[in-house]
Every structure is written in structure tokens, then in C-alpha cells.
A and B are shown apart, each in its own frame.
Chain A
Amino acid sequence: MYILKNAWRSISRAKVRNILIGVIVLVIAISSCVALSIREAADSAKEQYLEELEVTAQISIDRQSMMQGFSSESGGFGRNSMKEMMTNQEDLSLEEMLVYAEAESVKDFYYTGTTSVDTDGNWEAIDTTGITEDESESEGESDAQGITSMGDQGRGGQIVGGNKPDMSQMGRMGVQGDCTIVGYSSDDAMTEFLAGTSSITDGEMFEEGTSEYECVISDELATYNEFAVGDVITVANPNNEEETYQLTIVGIYHNEQSGQTQAGMMGGFSASSDSANQIYMSYEALSAILTTSEGSAETTTDEKTGRTSSTALKNQVSGTYLFSTVEDYEKFEEEARELGLSENYSISSSDLNSYEQSMEPLNNLSEYAMYFFVVILIIGGIILAVLNIFNIRERKYEIGVLAAIGMKKWKIAVQYTTELLCVTFIAIIIGTGIGAAGSVPITNALLEKQIESQTSTKENQMANFGRGEMPSDMGENVPSDMPSDASSDAKGKGGKGMGNFFNTMGSTVTDYVDQIDSATNLTVVIELIGVGILLTLISSLFAIIFVLRYDPLKIMANRE
């Protein structure tokens, strides 16, 4: 007890020395607090996002795996054989997808069907392609003939943006029409509405799972044709103009990105790819149309190739598996293989990719902060150790007297270490307070710089490729404010994840984490206390060695 009393008395009576030590520890504490807080912010943002994240995944044909398998099986490269193999490799059917949806790890499964249709001539699709109808028809014919080649391109492509119909796979849908009907299995499948990029502006959404021929159309298509809720539109089978279906408009929706992105991007291929020409309805209703179409279809066989073709409407099904956690997603691959999923298919998730990209600046900052932390610790430790050695040499006489009156050397060492610990702890408490107050603005400022540097690097890379700058509305990083952002739910549920994966020039625009709300928590405080103890012990170690080596008789003899 008297050791503590002595230590405290010694601190209060050697103010200059202890203030000097305190200032050094204070600087170390503030720097360490900021560095640890940055790391903690990155960790907690990651943890919180992963907790809220519902991972979505799709199963698609793995062309690379097929090619590798082909070369190892055949022992050589045969383009025609390979082409044939890839042509015969069908996308998963809905029935097959449903089998894998039974896996334990899957929380939910939803799907969309996409089919291409024509107008009946009484109304028109929005067409910014600049291709005349004749050209369009001939293109359609060539598409019909070239189904295989277009389809192949589509197979390897990953479905970006969750459950959004993949336009690159349209080749499997037969002759391209003017519009695209997208059938949704449930409201959960309508990720754009969940994420808020699309919303009903007039009327209402069709009933979930209805088999009525009810649809919602884009506001652009409605304005273009002066359609209103309650109107009936007629769509035709592009392979058989006589086959028509009447759909009742129950709602009109607005898509925020329509007209800015897809139109410019996809309009060059065909009008049906334009998001403005997408007609949404329930999958049940679409399925009813497809069944009717199949019933009235004509089948012909090509004499040369022996291949049969049908005039029935083609349907492209895209399934999305939903998982509660990343672990479930990782487990799914194993389960799906056990349920019979071939190695020619791969499972991928755009959510995790976008998550990793969004965390990149914060992770980088966290990494730099930890390097900085280590350097601060080393330099701080050395300065403190040197200071302590001088301190102990200066107090040699005191050590001699204490030892001479019978105070054991280890008790003297404990007293000196306690003095240093007290000063260190006071400095750490003050440092933690200052660090905690400063860590959020400092982290956000550093994060902003990091994002600026990252964005500028990407822009420079694009400029080097001659692709110019990104459109201003896409180049901006929308603050996601992850830990408290309500939109993260929608982001988690929907297939969009955090990244706004639109691109006009082949690059992605990522929604970076650019704000943190709080950084210093109990873990940081405990770590700082640990740092304090560690620094004290390391720097005291030299002092302790000196104390143990001193001989009181020599000290006093020298003094006398």
C-alpha cells in the first residue's frame, strides 16, 4: 500500500518529468486510438453489413469449366466439338432450380421468366435504335438463324444486378420482338421495386401469383402510346403474328435509371432490350401465355441440320437463391453438388462482390492505420524506454537510500513501474477521450481522401483506355452510411447489393462506404489499456534492470 502512496507522492512532486512522459504517452494514445478506431470502424461496418446482408446467388453455366473439362477429356482442342457441347448444354430449367432450392441453406427462392413479344401494330414500342422495321425484321430473322451464337454469348455471362433479366441471353428466346415480358414469381423477385429504383406512379402492382393477364408498364411506354391504367394492350408472338394476347394495364411504373442507362446502352441492339419496353406481370400469368402458345405452335424440322424449331414463345428463366448469411451461401455450393448440380454450372453472388468493393477504401485505410499504429508503438516505446533510463539514472540516489533503509529492490522496481503506469493511464484516459472525439471526423476525412484517390485512379484508367469520364450522376459516390442506413435492408434483400452495377463503358460504379458513425468502442478502450500496460512494461524493463543492478553501498559511497 505504501508503494502506491509513495508512487503517487513521487508523481505529484516531480511534475515536469511526469508531464513530459504524459505528453509522449498522450500523443501515442491519441494516435493509437485513431488507428484502432479506424480498424474497429472497418470491422464493425463489415460485421454489421454482413449481419444485415441477405446474400443472393444465381446458378449459371460455367463455360470455362466446360472448356477445361473438354480439353482434359478429349486431350486436344476441337472447336466444332466444343461448340456442339456448349450448344447442347442447356440453362437450368425451373424444375431443376427448384430442386436446388430445397437445399437447407436456402432461405428463399424466386425467379423470373422473360419472353420477347411484338406489338399488335395498334401501339408502338419505344425505339431509339434507329433501325427500320424491315431491318429489324431481317435482324430478327438473322437472330432466328443465329440463335446458337447469341445464346453462347449469353451463357457465360453473369447475371448482374440480381434478378434483372439478362439481355445478353435473349438469343435463346427465339425471334426478338419489340417488347419484353418479364414474369415475376413473387414480390421478392421484383428487386428494383424493393430497392426503390422503380416505383408505381399510377394504379397498383398486379397481385402476387395471379394468373390473370394483368401487367404494369413503364411510364415512358404509357406516355408514348397514351396508355392509362385500365387500358388493354395486345401483344403478339413474333414467330406467329396471328397469335395474340390481351393484357390489362393495372399499373404504371417509373424507373429512375430508365432512359439514362439501359436505353443508351442497350438501345443499340434492339427495342425489346430497352427497359422502357419491359412489361411486368406475374410469372403465373406469363406461364399461362406460354402454355397457350405451346398449344398452338407449329413445329418444323430443318432437313439439312435435322434441328427442330417451334413457333411457340420462348421463355428464359432466371432463378435467384436467397441466403440469410454468407456462411449459408458458402454451404449452398456443397449442398447443390450433392443434389446433383453438374460441374458445368457455377454459383455466383454479385452481392459479395459489391460488398467487397464497397469496403475497399475503408479496408485500405484500416490497413494503413494499423501500420501507422505499429510504427507509433515502436517509436513511442523507444522514446519512453530512453526517457525511463534517464529517469532512473537521475534517481539513483533515491534508489540507494530506499535500499539502504531496507526496501527490497523488487518493491522499488514496482514503485517506479507504478508511477509510470499511473502517468500512462492518465494520459491514455485523456488520449482516448481526445481520440474518440477526433476519430470519426479524422476517419471520415481520411476515407474521403482514400475514395477520391481510388475514384481518380479508376477514372485515369478509363481515360487511358480512351473511354472518357463517367456520367456525372453515376460517378458520384452516394453515401451509404452503412451502419444506420435504412436502405441497406433493401440493398441486402435485393440483388443489387451495395454496388450500382451500371455501366456504359465497361466499368462498374461502386457505392463505397464513405461515412462512419462511431469508431471508439469498448474494444478500442481495452486495447488502449493493453497498449498502455505493454508500453509501461517494455519501457520499465530497462529501468527495472538498472534498479536490480544498483548496489546501495556504492551509490552512497559515490555520493559521499
Chain B
Amino acid sequence: MSKLRLENVSYKYEKSKNFVLKDISFEFEKGNIYAIIGKSGAGKTTLLSLLSGLTKPTSGKIFLDEEDTKNKDMYSYRSQDVGVVFQSFNLLPKLTAVENVILSMDVSGRKFGNKKEIAMELLNKVGLDEDEAKRRILKLSGGQQQRVAIARALSYGPEIILADEPTGNLDGETQDDIMEIFRKLAKDENKCVIIVTHSPEVTEKADVVYELKKNDSGKNGTRMKK
């Protein structure tokens, strides 16, 4: 059974005549890494916004565990069901790394034991030490911020992890580290990891690749690999 399924999803922006996404039908399962690739303007980030519940399709349906998300409260969907790693991280600069992670746990409304301990463990797991975890976001490097964003996305235990160009701004070694984290999440923790990327390395490591193409005439999403 698919964890997340798009059925004939199309999307166009409010004041635009053209569809960014047209008739997309993708399936995502737990335990796999999915890569969504495509040229700029193909609709990769739009697709991620749809998957993360930040916007709703113009037509078509998105199913979570075969339940139409149309009937779901999108705030609780975002805070509990999916963990998103944004391209520009979207962390709160006035908070420390650990506070950013704890905030997401608070917002999810789920009950946790010692939140600070859990957050610290998560940050350690993604490669940040205690000292770095207590620093404010602006005092961390891009790679460190990326790790914090991943830790935040994992903090409340979502089964789906969405990442937008998670390795885009990182050096080769850090890229490998991050991809290793995603691999473990998918393979060891049986999560469904969906990555929007340009990177051939990431694409290489993905189990399934979906390509988005600019195509006004018909479907613009194709399954490429498995």
C-alpha cells in the first residue's frame, strides 16, 4: 500500500493560465528514497509544496494511507505526518538549534519524554555536537543549518520526509553525510524519503526517480527508475 499517492494532480497558480503540473500520478512507499528531478520551472518545488500540504491541487487528489488529504486538517498534516527540509532551511534565527527542534515537537501536539534530550540526540545523530546544538541558527554554517533542518523534520517522528535540494549548497563530503542520513532513515527506520534535486549523485542513490518536464500538452511527470 502506498504511503502517499498522487492521482491525476494538476496545479496552476492563481493568476496564471498555464498549469505548472498536469495530470501527475505518483506513488510513494515507505522504505524507499525517491528523487524528483527536472529542469528549472518544471514544477519540482510546486510538487513538494503539494506533498508537504502547503498548498492544494487545482484538480486531482492526494492520498495519505489511501485517505484523501482534502478532508484532512493541513496544519496537523504538516506538523505530524510529514517532515519537510526546505531548500533555505527555514529555521528561526532567534532560536538555537535545539530550540528550533523542540518547537517543532511542541507544535506537533504529540507527547514526548524529555524533549530537550530527544532533540539533543537527534542533533547528535545528524552530526551536531552539544556546543553547536546550543548555538543560535545564524552562528551555524550552511551545512550545520541543513542538519538542524533535518533534525527538526525528524523530531516528531513523521513517516514521510520531504527535502528540497538538501545538498544543493553543500560541499561533497557533507553531501555524502546528508545522503547517508536519508539512506538510514529510509532503510533502517522504514521512512518514505522524497528528495527534490538537481544532483546526479542524489539521483544515483535514489530507489525511484520521477522526472518532471515542461510540457503544456499533456502529462508532465514520468517514472524513470527502479
The residues of A with any CB-CB pair to B shorter than 8 Å are 2, 5-6, 9-10, 13-14, 398, 400-408, 552-553, 556, 559-560
Asked whether A407 and B79 contact (CB < 8 A) given A553-B55, A556-B86, the answer is yes
A560 to B75 Cα, complex, angstroms: 22
- Mask: chain B, 64-83; 1 = CB below 8 Å from A; 0 = not: 00000000000111111000
Of residues A6, A401, A402, A405, which shows the largest number of chain B Cβ atoms within 10 Å of its Cβ?
A405
Q: Which residues of the partner chain A approach B32 to less than 8 Å between Cβ atoms?
A: none
Chain A residue at minimal CB-CB distance from B54: A553
Q: Does B61 contact A (CB under 8 A)?
A: no
Q: Which residues of the partner chain A approach B84 to less than 8 Å between Cβ atoms?
A: 404-405
The reply to whether B92 and A401 form a contact with Cβ atoms under 8 Å apart is: yes
The reply to whether B108 and A404 form a contact with Cβ atoms under 8 Å apart is: no
Q: How many A-B residue pairs have CB under 8 A?
A: 57
Asked whether A10 and B94 contact (CB < 8 A) given A404-B84, A405-B79, the answer is yes
The reply to whether B79 and A401 form a contact with Cβ atoms under 8 Å apart is: no
A400 to B90 Cα, complex, angstroms: 9
Total residues of chain B contacting the partner, CB 8 A: 26
A10 to B103 Cα, complex, angstroms: 13
Q: Does B49 contact A (CB under 8 A)?
A: yes
Q: Does B95 contact A (CB under 8 A)?
A: yes
Asked whether A406 and B99 contact (CB < 8 A) given A13-B94, A401-B90, A401-B91, the answer is no
Of residues A9, A407, A552, which shows the largest number of chain B Cβ atoms within 10 Å of its Cβ?
A407
Q: Which residues of the partner chain B approach A559 to less than 8 Å between Cβ atoms?
A: 88
Q: Does B152 contact A (CB under 8 A)?
A: yes
The reply to whether A407 and B75 form a contact with Cβ atoms under 8 Å apart is: yes
A408 to B76 Cα, complex, angstroms: 9
A217 to B86 Cα, complex, angstroms: 104
Contact of A553 among B49, B76, B99, B103 (CB under 8 A): B49
The reply to whether A404 and B94 form a contact with Cβ atoms under 8 Å apart is: no
- Mask: chain B, 130-154; 1 = CB below 8 Å from A; 0 = not: 0000000000000000000000100
The reply to whether B107 and A405 form a contact with Cβ atoms under 8 Å apart is: yes
A559 to B94 Cα, complex, angstroms: 17
Q: Does B106 contact A (CB under 8 A)?
A: yes
Contact of A9 among B55, B86, B99, B108 (CB under 8 A): B99
13 contacts between A and B (CB under 8 A): A2-B103, A401-B90, A404-B86, A405-B78, A405-B79, A405-B107, A406-B78, A407-B75, A552-B54, A553-B49, A553-B54, A556-B54, A556-B86
Q: Which residues of the partner chain B approach A407 to less than 8 Å between Cβ atoms?
A: 75, 79, 107
The reply to whether B94 and A556 form a contact with Cβ atoms under 8 Å apart is: no
Q: Which residues of the partner chain B approach A401 to less than 8 Å between Cβ atoms?
A: 90-92
**Which 3 pairs between the two chains have the least Cβ-Cβ distance?**
A406-B79, A2-B106, A406-B78
The reply to whether A406 and B108 form a contact with Cβ atoms under 8 Å apart is: yes
A559 to B92 Cα, complex, angstroms: 13
Chain A residue at minimal CB-CB distance from B55: A553
The reply to whether A406 and B75 form a contact with Cβ atoms under 8 Å apart is: yes
Q: Which residues of the partner chain B approach A10 to less than 8 Å between Cβ atoms?
A: 94
Chain B residue at minimal CB-CB distance from A559: B88
Q: Which residues of the partner chain A approach B91 to less than 8 Å between Cβ atoms?
A: 401
CB distance from B161 to the nearest CB of A (A): 14
Asked whether A6 and B90 contact (CB < 8 A) given A406-B75, A408-B75, A553-B54, the answer is no
A398 to B95 Cα, complex, angstroms: 11
CB distance from A3 to the nearest CB of B (A): 9
Q: Which residues of the partner chain A approach B49 to less than 8 Å between Cβ atoms?
A: 553
Q: A404-B78, A405-B84 are in contact. List 9 more A-B contacts (CB 8 A).
A: A2-B107, A5-B106, A398-B94, A404-B84, A405-B152, A406-B79, A406-B107, A406-B108, A560-B88
CB distance from A14 to the nearest CB of B (A): 7
A560 to B86 Cα, complex, angstroms: 10
Chain B residue at minimal CB-CB distance from A10: B94
A401 to B86 Cα, complex, angstroms: 10
Contact of A405 among B88, B94, B103 (CB under 8 A): B103
